[in-house]
Amino acid sequence: MSAGGSHKRIMKELSEITQSPPQGMKVSLVDESDVHVWEILMDGPEQSVYAGGHFKLLLTLPKDYPFKPPTLAFTTKIYHPNVTNDGKGAMCLGLLRPDEWKPPNKIAAVLDMTRSILVEPNLDDAVEGAIAEEYRTRRKEFDRKAREWVGKYAGRR
């Protein structure tokens, strides 16, 4: 796919997502002149410890999208085993690994999967081992800390 083909695919997906966004999300370009960087505003799913939180994520599409996967990062701090706790907020999603990414995959599926791991973390794919272990063995403590972080960083209403 040429650079023009990549741009066309990105514009098509952006149009589809802005017209019919995934549940609890708003998607926009960070800068109208760059279709490769999207801002996602996501409400914490009601059936999760993140309910009431409002999270900002940054989706970055490589120049050779869809042949290379996008990267997704939480810019709002979140206490979660699949999101790095280093200020970068990088997200570990199997779908986004270069060896698992397939060109037919769409950004809407990435966003749906992101929302679903807020409800049910993927402990086998954790980037924060201590948080994953806490989720596994001391769930009440995990829930308490996650809710605390929502209140502190994600503007719980």
Catalytically active residues, by annotation: 92
CB atoms within 10 A of CB 122: 15
Own/partner pairs, 135-142, CB within 8 angstroms, 24+ separation: 135/81, 142/49, 142/79
The position carrying tokens 């979140």 is 78
**Bridging pattern class, strands 25-31 and 71-74:** unpaired
For residues 69 and 96, is the Cβ–Cβ distance under 8 A?
Answer: yes
CB-based contacts of 140, cutoff 8 Å, min separation 6:
none
42, containing H or E segment = strand 34-43
CB-based contacts of 128, cutoff 8 Å, min separation 6:
80, 81, 82, 83, 84, 85
